[in-house]
Amino acid sequence: MNNRADSAAHTASSPQHNAIVMASAGTGKTWLLVTRIIRLLLAGTRPDAILAISFTRKAAMEMQTRLAQRLFEFVHCTDAALDLHLENIGVEPTPQQRRQARDLYESLLRSEQPPRITTFHAFCQDLLRRFPLEADVPPGFELLEKTAEIERSAQARLFMEATADPDGKPAQALDLLFSNCGAGAQNALSEFLQQRSDWWAFTEGQANPARFAEAVLAAQLTIDHDADYLKEFFCAQTHKDIAEFIEFLKQHSTATNTHHAELLAGCLGNDEKILQDFLNVKTAFLTDEGKPRSRKASKAQAQFLGEDGQQRFLELHEKLCAGIQIFLEQQARVATYRTNCAWYVSGVRLLDHYQQIKADQRLLDFADLEWKACQLLNHSDNAEWVQYKLDQRIDHLLVDEFQDTNPTQWNLLLPLLNELAAGTGLSSTASQPETERNRSAFIVGDGKQSIYRFRRAEPRLLDTAQAFLNENLNASSHHLAESWRSAPAVIEFINQAFAEGPLYDRLHVFETHTTHHHELYGRVEILPLIGVPPTSNLAGEAVDVFSFRNPLQQPRLLDEENRHYEEGKLIAKKIKTLLHDATAIGHAHETRPLNYSDIFILL
């Protein structure tokens, strides 16, 4: 490390500082996390008072492995090497520190409760197992990791319910959903289950979640349930404007104008044929694509209408086109509203079946773990007592990969952070006076590495957490931007991509990246995107998939999505080329040809 990075790492890993670290890929983030734990242990922290949370099991296991490896190395290295290790982590070597460092490995092996290095889900599971009654979960519940079978069972129950009561609200909602969405309705229902945590958070505390969501959507779309938009369109002024427009069409009686005048004749918006009247008006003023017909000033037209008449004719055309488009936009809003309301009703019923099946089998899935734990710590009758019990166990909180945290996980962490911000707690025995405890929070993340949006990850929470820690815990902020992994070519590409432009606008803050490997060969190449090829028949001729076909002579064409396969072929071809050309890798003084084991593919 250079002096600047070395100083930042020492400050960030110090047990006396709350810190939030923006750590880019390959900059030593895991090393820093493990260093923070080691320094906490060297400072006399109880191992079980340390809670480190990561996003994946793999990351948690890597932290545990690296901690054990580094402490094992402390035991076996020489005094000189140990002193260097201690200096590298910001600890002044002394005989006492050497003894402590060498004893840590055995101490952890003998400890009944080592530092808890875990995932969000594992932490939630442990919390719910400790407080099942308070959290309203079945004691001894089992964790459901694969939900596909139960999702299918829930859908089967929903369809059986709709079949048994075709006039019921769920059946009517399903009918509308499938009518408007076709095959996409199945995906919409599955998506409702996938986003159930967001639904619970959105409708929390509502007696009728679907009705609440409908009211919110109606307000957003400005839907007036009492309005008759079609009758409002055919108001007296519209009748007057259409009648005047017809006269202009008759004065300039081209074939098209005559046809449109015939369509508009009698369009009074009567209840018996009001829809047909509107379709006639729409045809006269809009193209099939929904755009205003081209009516422009011309000398020939002015000869029949006069200059003033032509101007009035074009004004009426523009006014009526605008009115039609406003109505169509409102109708689209109504259609969106009705489809979404059907989605809410059928989705809620599907979720009810899904939750009931799990409850019958004493199962919780990952979404249940997060939501139930969050509710337990924030909204249950025993929230303060549970927070107090946790507060006695946790003195130091470390969170890894914070850019992949979702809103539920953030609300789960907030009570813990608020307790840390309080700064004090009761000692272990009631007879002793209240004493100050050394407590800390440490968060690591990088907004541009957020890859779990499909799991509701919200990288903007990294900024929220930074503001909270700075304001409530006087935390210091640090940037790790010097890579121990990448070649200069890669780093230069990253700087060009994020230093300005749309990606920079998404990040708001970007620290220029550097690398320790100044002479390491590297190359950045952007492969082309694979487009969607046109559907063709066996002869390779393009086919219109929307036209009718003779099923006895023409097979059904299935539009298969094969872009991932084509991308795979492209990558494989690139790898083959790299190996065939004996691409040189390594530093200038130790280059060698590329091997398969040197290639790492990120998807």
pLDDT of residue 217: 96
Task: Kindly list the distances between the CA atom of residue 107 and the CA atoms of 68, 69, 78, in Å, as whole numbers in the listed order.
Answer: 11, 14, 20
Which position has the token pair 């084991």?
Answer: 597
pLDDT of residue 100: 93
Enumerate the β-bridge partners of residue 577. none
539 pLDDT higher than 70: no
Q: How far apart are CA 537 and CA 25, in angstroms?
A: 47
Q: What is the mean pLDDT of residues 318-334?
A: 94
Asked if 373 and 197 count as a contact pair (C-beta separation under 8 A), the reply is no
More confident of the two residues 139 and 559 = 139
Angle of CA points 166, 167, 172, to nearest 5°: 80
90: left (phi over 0), alpha (psi -120 to 50) or beta: left
Residues 213-222: tens digit of each pLDDT: 999 999 999 9
DSSP-derived letter for residue 111 is -
pLDDT of residue 431: 39
Q: What is the mean pLDDT of residues 186-194?
A: 94
Angle of CA points 552, 556, 558, to nearest 5°: 170
Percent of the chain predicted with pLDDT > 90: 62
Q: How far apart are CA 586 and CA 595, in angstroms?
A: 12
Angle of CA points 285, 290, 294, to nearest 5°: 50
More confident of the two residues 239 and 507 = 239
Asked if 396 and 439 count as a contact pair (C-beta separation under 8 A), the reply is yes
Token pair of 523 as six digits: 């190359």
Task: Kindly list the distances between the CA atom of residue 580 and the CA atoms of 168, 172, 577, in Å, as whole numbers in the listed order.
Answer: 66, 62, 5
Asked if 502 and 468 count as a contact pair (C-beta separation under 8 A), the reply is no
Residue 43 CB contacts under 8 Å (≥ 6 apart), including other chains: 15, 438
Q: Which of 135, 124, 192, 125 is nearest to 353 (CA)?
A: 192
More confident of the two residues 502 and 426 = 502
Compute how many other C-beta atoms are within 10 angstroms of the C-beta atom of residue 121.
21
DSSP-derived letter for residue 434 is P
Percent of the chain predicted with pLDDT > 70: 92
Task: Kindly list the distances between the CA atom of residue 584 and the CA atoms of 418, 493, 521, in Å, as whole numbers in the listed order.
Answer: 53, 20, 8
Compute how many other C-beta atoms are within 10 angstroms of the C-beta atom of residue 291.
10
Residues 339-353: tens digit of each pLDDT: 999 999 999 999 999
Token pair of 202 as six digits: 């959105």
Biggest CA–CA distance in the chain, Å, is: 107
Q: pTM, whole model, 2 decimals?
A: 0.79
pLDDT of residue 32: 93
Task: Kindly list the distances between the CA atom of residue 421 and the CA atoms of 416, 418, 444, in Å, as whole numbers in the listed order.
Answer: 9, 5, 18
Q: What is the mean pLDDT of residues 552-579?
A: 81
Q: How far apart are CA 548 and CA 552, in angstroms?
A: 12
Q: Which of 8, 86, 75 is nearest to 42 (CA)?
A: 86
Question: Please, which pLDDT band fits residue 438 given cuts at 50, 70 and 90?
Answer: confident
Which position has the token pair 């006492």?
Answer: 96
Asked if 522 and 486 count as a contact pair (C-beta separation under 8 A), the reply is yes
3-state SS, one letter per residue, for 360-371: HCCEECHHHHHH
Question: Please, which pLDDT band fits residue 73 given cuts at 50, 70 and 90?
Answer: very high
Task: Kindly list the distances between the CA atom of residue 152 and the CA atoms of 157, 159, 214, 347, 462, in Å, as whole numbers in the listed order.
Answer: 9, 11, 26, 14, 36
Q: What is the mean pLDDT of residues 543-548?
A: 53
Question: Please, which pLDDT band fits residue 545 given cuts at 50, 70 and 90?
Answer: very low
Asked if 443 and 55 count as a contact pair (C-beta separation under 8 A), the reply is no
CA-only gyration radius of the chain, Å: 33
Q: What is the mean pLDDT of residues 534-558?
A: 58
pLDDT of residue 11: 86
Angle of CA points 317, 319, 325, to nearest 5°: 100
Residues 449-459: tens digit of each pLDDT: 888 887 788 88
pLDDT of residue 554: 72
Question: Please, which pLDDT band fits residue 392 given cuts at 50, 70 and 90?
Answer: confident
526 pLDDT higher than 60: yes
Beta strands in 255-313 (DSSP E): none
pLDDT of residue 320: 94
Residues 14-71: tens digit of each pLDDT: 988 899 999 888 888 999 999 999 999 999 999 999 999 998 899 999 999 999 999 9
**By CB neighbour count within 10 A (0-12 exposed, 13-18 middle, 19+ buried), where does 304 fall?**
middle
462 pLDDT higher than 60: yes
Asked if 591 and 521 count as a contact pair (C-beta separation under 8 A), the reply is yes
What is the three-class DSSP state of 20? strand
- Pairing outcome for strands 435-436 and 142-143: unpaired
pLDDT of residue 521: 81
DSSP-derived letter for residue 183 is T
Q: How far apart are CA 327 and CA 224, in angstroms?
A: 13
What is the enclosing helix (H) or strand (E) of 109?
helix 95-110
Beta strands in 403-451 (DSSP E): 424-425, 435-436, 440-445
Q: How far apart are CA 161 and CA 168, in angstroms?
A: 9
Which position has the token pair 């046809």?
Answer: 259
Token pair of 258 as six digits: 């005559």
pLDDT of residue 529: 84
Residues 81-116: tens digit of each pLDDT: 999 999 999 999 999 999 999 999 999 988 888 999
Residue type, 184: G
Token pair of 170 as six digits: 């769920």
pLDDT of residue 244: 93
Q: How far apart are CA 194 and CA 454, in angstroms?
A: 9
Residues 272-298: tens digit of each pLDDT: 788 899 999 999 999 999 899 999 999
Q: How far apart are CA 524 and CA 496, in angstroms?
A: 12
Q: What is the mean pLDDT of residues 508-535?
A: 81
Enumerate the β-bridge partners of residue 118. 53
What is the enclosing helix (H) or strand (E) of 50?
strand 50-54
Q: Which of 6, 8, 28 is nearest to 19 (CA)?
A: 8
Q: Which of 466, 490, 485 is nearest to 476 (CA)?
A: 466
Q: What is the mean pLDDT of residues 464-485?
A: 91
Q: What is the mean pLDDT of the chain?
A: 88
Task: Kindly list the distances between the CA atom of residue 338 and the CA atoms of 21, 215, 344, in Å, as whole numbers in the listed order.
Answer: 46, 12, 10
Task: Kindly list the distances between the CA atom of residue 596 and the CA atoms of 397, 567, 580, in Å, as whole numbers in the listed order.
Answer: 40, 19, 11
